[in-house]
Structure formats: structure tokens, C-alpha cells
Amino acid sequence: MIKGIIFDFDGLIFDTETHHYNVLNDIFIEHGSTLPLTKWQEQIGTQTDFSPYVYLEKQLKLKLDHNALQDTFEEKLHAKLSTEKARAGVENYLQSANELGLKIGLASSSNYDWVSTHLKNLNLFDYFHCIKTSDDVETVKPDPSLYLEAAKCLQLDVQECLVFEDSANGSLAAKSAGMSCVIVPNEVTEAMDFCEVDYRISSMSEISLEDVIEIVERANSK
């Protein structure tokens, strides 16, 4: 029986990922190149040592000012995110979870400052009983540690948790933790190769949380 839901953050609650990619790709285009979406997808939902500016340098075969590029990136990304709202249906799911008496957690490969700042700006911070980020574990997704820590914090068994994810790395982490997982891909993750998950929707606005839980619990009881 599902007693708690655990959300990813980037790309699921707040679609930072699509803006992140588009802003980086715009910078690449300005320099006469492009950032392949498949290359960027490898970085989504985890932390790697990939540097888009080193990658751009290799493509152009010339040296670039990384600090200047990063300043440009941060300025453009901030402008994009400052007007962005939570993805459709997110707050309805959080409200429904409260009404159903479910515990609500969050597990993100980003750091706490990033996650908490945006949640507060979106007026969603107070919905969460527990928030686990890269600050709390040695290894982020696809390692299951973040989800295991979130379950422990919520005082739930892994079988009692339903995870909502948008990325391949995130869904793999959830399933590796022994949890049910529903994927809600965004524009830059919808073509990813996901592991076997319990259900897939394109938006939380298309189906109620109650119906999703019923579908997952029915499938798991077979």
C-alpha cells in the first residue's frame, strides 16, 4: 500500500532541464556549433564531470573564456527561470497527497540551496515533509541512496513509496531502491530510454494522483 510519494525536482516539479539545455544550445549556436541533445541527456538527473565549454572548445578547436561563457549562461538561465512556473498538475498532486494523508518527500541530485530556493519561489516548499539532496549522500542518482534516505526520513518502507521522476537516471535510482516509479518526462527527456517503470504519463494534469496510485497498486498486486 502506498503511504508516501517522493518527487524528483529538476525537470519534474520545475522544468529547469529544458531551459538549461536550450540556453546552453543557444550559446553553442552563437559560436557556430550545436550541443547534441543526446549528449546533454547523459547529464540529466545525475552529476558528471562533463563540461559543455570544454566540449564546445573541442568542436571549434579553439580556446574559449569559460568564465565569460558561464556568466552569459547564468544570466540567460536566470531570466528564463524567473518567469517559469511549476509544471502542470504538480501542485494539484501535492494538495491531493495532503488530503489523502500521504507523506511527501523530495529526492534531488541538485544541492539543497538550489532546490529549496526554487521551491520557496514557487510557494511549494511547505508541502514537503522531507527533502534529500546531493548534500545528504556520497553518490547521487542513478545510485539509489537519495531515495533510500528519503524513505528513511519519511519513516516508510521502500514498498510504501511511490516515486515521480522525469529522467532515466532518476527512474533507475527509484527502481534500484525497490520503489514504484511513475515517469513524467519533459521536452528534453521524453525520448530517453527508461528502465522498466510502473506507469508513464505526459503530465500530472492528465490524470489524478488517486487514479495513478490505484493503477500502480493494482499492477503491483498481480
- Whether 166 and 65 map to the same domain: the answer is no
Strand runs labelled E in 25-102: none
| Residue 181 belongs to domain with CATH number | 3.40.50.1000
* 158 in the same domain as 99: yes
Residue where a domain terminates, one of 58, 81, 104: 81
Q: Choose one of 60, 81, 102: the last residue of a domain.
A: 81
Based on the fold, state whether residues 167 and 103 are members of the same structural domain: yes
The total number of structural domains in the chain stands at 2
Q: Is 193 exposed, middle or buried (0-12, 13-18, 19+ CB in 10 A)?
A: exposed
User: Is residue 97 domain-shared with residue 127, that is, in the same domain?
Assistant: yes
Q: What percent of the chain has pLDDT over 90?
A: 89
Q: Is the same domain home to 111 and 200?
A: yes
CB 86 within 8 A of CB 13: yes
> For residue 66, what are the contacts with CB-CB under 8 A and spacing of at least 6?
51, 53
Q: What is the distance between the alpha carbons of residues 98 and 194, in angstroms, rounded to a whole number?
A: 29
Query: Across the strands, what pairs with 161?
Result: 4
Q: What are 183-214's pLDDT values in tens digits? A: 999 999 998 999 999 999 999 999 999 999 99
Are 30 and 75 in the same domain? yes
Catalytic residue among 8, 143, 166, 198: 8
Residue 143: active-site member: no
- Tell me the residue type at 25: N
| Annotated catalytic residue within 10, 15, 143, 198 | 10
Q: Which residue has the cell 518527500?
A: 105
Residue 10 a catalytic site member: yes
Domain C-terminal end among 81, 108, 138: 81
Q: Are 100 and 210 in contact (CB under 8 A)?
A: yes
Q: Which residues pair with 130 in a beta bridge?
A: 105
Residue 176: per-residue pLDDT: 98
Question: Range of 189's domain?
Answer: 4-15+86-220
Buried b / exposed e along 145-175 (16+ C-beta atoms within 10 A): bbbbbbbebbebebebbbbbbbbbbbbbbbb
pLDDT tens, residue by residue, 39-98: 988 888 788 889 999 999 999 999 999 999 999 999 999 999 998 999 999 999 999 999
pLDDT above 80: residue 222: no
pLDDT value, residue 43? 83
**Quick one: 108 and 166 in the same domain?**
yes
Q: Same domain, yes or no, for 55 and 106? A: no
Nearest to 5 by CA among 128, 88, 92, 109: 128
24 HSE (CA, 13 A, CB side): 21
